[in-house]
Structure 1
Amino acid sequence: MNVKIETRIEDVTLRLAEEKDISLILRFIKELADYEELLHEVVATEEILRESLFERKAAEVVIAEFKGEPVGFALFFHNFSTFLGRPGLYLEDLYVQPQMRGKGIGKLLLAYLAKLAIERGCGRFEWWCLDWNKSSIDFYKSIGAIPMDEWTVYRVCDKALVDLAEEF
């Protein structure tokens, strides 16, 4: 049984996900993808998540609960800054169900991850945000997050990934 982490918000607790949460995590991923109009891109399955999260431990998940019911999650992992010579904490996804937004749960998840980053000796805590998501951008700026406008994200996947690997 996972330990509940008490928070400053009444009736809201956090807990680290366990393998039994796989279907919940996948559901939250799909709800987030639907909100971002990217549901068609979700290929994750419970088995893929089980292997990635609990066998390979490639990422971690924290679940937010309201009165014992799951209402959101944050999926994160460590990256590394060569300039700092230290690890960073990278937030891949943060999601709070629509009916629970505006109650401080998203900020609470970010604050927990910031605390975790400090405890783990990380030099940075970072994430991406879709350009059109003005409410999230405004929120992130309000907590002191700085947009990295001078950087462009590049991605190699699918056939391009295979083709590049074959160049070795």
Structure 2
Amino acid sequence: METSASSHPQPTTALTIRPMEERDVPELLRLMHGIVSFERGQDFNLTEAELVRRGFGERPEFGAYVADAGGNALAGMAVHYEIPFMHTLRPLLMMKWLYVDPQWRGRRVGQELVRQMARHARATGHERFYWFVLNDNAAAQSFYRGVGAMEDPEWRRWIMPAESVCRLTEEME
């Protein structure tokens, strides 16, 4: 995971795992930037305004559980969303990101966030939930195995890169 230190001091109080609130948006944005940087993401376009627009309101596009460290600081997050239509006639629960601030790693924060995701899955009628892990992220793979997860033996993620999208659409014209 990311190795740079956060500018937030370590509070002495216990963490609280809870659903995100609008006041968490600046810290969520910081954590999201942290995981996207770790994943070697190039185009980080999220803003506080976009997170508010997409995460709150009548039809939120995503939700998150946060590890509240007190003092407006978050120690970690588990961001999730649903794919609403599946052949099973049940939505698919996806965990988009699980990220723990480097200074909080090794303190069971990730385990508590995954446990909360499991509670969320059961409470919302999902038998399971899914996520992606970078092929070279051995630490995350080990962590996930340790909480009882397993690789999906039937699926591999594929991508249609931008240049191929352009080529295919140009061929059709």
Band the TM-score falls in, shorter-chain normalisation: 0.7 to 0.9
TM-score w.r.t. the length of structure 1 is 0.79
Number of the residue aligned with 2:64: 61
Contiguous gaps of at least 5 residues in structure 2: 1-12
Whichever structure has more strand as a proportion of its residues is: 1
* Deviation digits for residues 91-111 of structure 1 (CA, Å, limit 9, x no counterpart): 000110111101111011001
Matched, 1:98 2:99: no
Q: After TM superposition, which residue ranges in structure 1, 4 or more long, deviate above 6 angstroms?
A: none
Once the two structures are TM-superposed, the CA of residue 144 in structure 1 deviates from its matched residue by 1.8
* Deviation digits for residues 71-127 of structure 1 (CA, Å, limit 9, x no counterpart): 111110123574544233210001101111011110110011101101111122111
One-letter amino acid of the counterpart of residue 157, structure 2? V
One-letter amino acid of the counterpart of residue 26, structure 1? L
Contiguous gaps of at least 5 residues in structure 1: 1-9
Higher relative contact order (CA 8 A, sep 6+): 2
TM-score w.r.t. the length of structure 2 is 0.77
Q: 16, 19, 39: which is aligned to 2:19? A: 16
Aligned-partner SS, 1:127 = coil
Number of the residue aligned with 1:48: 50
Number of the residue aligned with 2:3: none
* Count of residues in Structure 1 that have an aligned counterpart in Structure 2: 154
Taking only the aligned residue pairs, the percentage that are identical comes to 28
Once the two structures are TM-superposed, the CA of residue 20 in structure 1 deviates from its matched residue by 2.3
Point out the more displaced range, 99-108 or 46-55: 46-55
How does 1:1-168 map onto structure 2 within 5 Å? 11-38=14-41, 40-55=42-57, 56-67=59-70, 69-80=73-84, 82=86, 84-156=88-160, 160=165
Structure 1 residues 67 and 52, CA gap change in structure 2 (3 angstroms): closer
